[in-house]
């Protein structure tokens, strides 16, 4: 009778080595870097934002299933660093203001949740050892102690990159539910403005389009002013 153990041992040994490697914080962080680089490369090569905006099948331009499918695709694209303003404009152009906003917000929360989960599982243990600087410790303490209101402020402030906020929150001790709720609520104003602009793009003189663009421009100027003042203040110290 043949002994099956010799054939099984190599697979078992490989599984044990992989398990040991994943228990190392820096091995998990390396895996996270590889995944993010692969996602960014896929975004550059495939240009999924162009597909969402112009190559979306006509039969999927209406209905609840189409909105849900777009939301899932939106979330995956944000993980791959596709800019959210482009996706928001596409949502408005494809589904109109109300359904487009629902799809965009669902995709925003989904993408943020995926990024937060990846950062928490693969990057937190390694990156927390680097929190030695005064500003890094302050940011970590703020997110850890006042997670909901801090993340709400970050989402309302358009100058903070979406991915940066996701991974900063993941490295902190902020909880998953406050992160998702704050993301959903705080993303409404800016997302709505882009979705409305996308839905009214064919009527650039309409009050809705002008109001949406005015909001986008004013918040962009405000973000630039605040960023300049903070940078100037830090440079003077």
Task: List for the chain the helix, strand, coil content (%; round to 5).
Answer: 85, 0, 15
The pair of structure tokens assigned to 72 is 């899932």
The pLDDT assigned to 74 comes to 93
Question: Would you state the pLDDT for residue 148?
Answer: 92
Higher-pLDDT residue of 19 and 202 is: 202
Concatenating the DSSP letter of every residue in 15-38 gives HHHHHHHHTSHHHHHHHHHHHHHH
What number is the average pLDDT over the span 69-82?
Answer: 91
Contact present, 116 and 124 (Cβ < 8 Å): no
Boundaries of every domain in the chain: 24-235
Range of weakest confidence among 30-39, 83-92, 204-213:
30-39
Confidence of residue 123 (pLDDT cuts 50, 70, 90): confident
How large a percentage of the chain has pLDDT more than 70? 74
Q: How far apart are CA 31 and CA 125, in angstroms?
A: 13
> What residue spans of 47-63 are helical by DSSP H?
48-54
Mean pLDDT, range 6-32, rounded to an integer: 63
C-alpha span between 180 and 187 (Å, rounded): 11
> Which carries the bigger pLDDT value, residue 45 or residue 176?
176
Q: Looking at residue 28, what is its pLDDT?
A: 78
* CB neighbour list of residue 152: distance below 8 Å, 6 or more residues apart: 182, 185, 186
> What kind and span of H or E run contains 203?
none
């Amino acid at each position: 009778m043949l002994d099956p153990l010799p054939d099984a041992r190599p697979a078992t040994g490989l599984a044990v080595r992989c398990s040991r490697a994943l228990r190392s914080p820096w091995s998990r962080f390396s895996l996270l870097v590889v995944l993010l680089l692969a996602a960014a490369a896929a975004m550059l090569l495939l240009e999924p934002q162009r597909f969402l905006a112009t190559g979306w099948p006509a039969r999927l331009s209406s209905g609840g299933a189409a909105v849900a499918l777009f939301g899932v695709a939106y979330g995956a694209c944000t993980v791959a660093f596709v800019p959210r303003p482009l996706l928001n404009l596409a949502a408005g152009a494809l589904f109109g203001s109300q359904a487009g906003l629902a799809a965009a917000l669902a995709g925003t929360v989904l993408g943020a949740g995926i990024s937060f989960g990846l950062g928490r599982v693969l990057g937190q243990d390694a990156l927390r050892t680097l929190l030695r600087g005064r500003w890094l410790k302050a940011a970590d303490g703020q997110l850890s102690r006042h997670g909901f209101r801090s993340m709400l402020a970050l989402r309302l402030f358009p100058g903070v990159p979406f991915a940066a906020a996701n991974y900063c929150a993941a490295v902190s001790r902020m909880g998953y539910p406050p992160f998702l709720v704050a993301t959903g609520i705080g993303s409404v104003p800016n997302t709505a403005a882009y979705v409305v602009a996308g839905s009214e793009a064919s009527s650039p003189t309409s009050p809705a389009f002008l109001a949406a663009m005015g909001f986008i421009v004013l918040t962009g100027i405000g973000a630039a002013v605040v960023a300049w003042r903070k940078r100037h203040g830090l440079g003077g110290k």
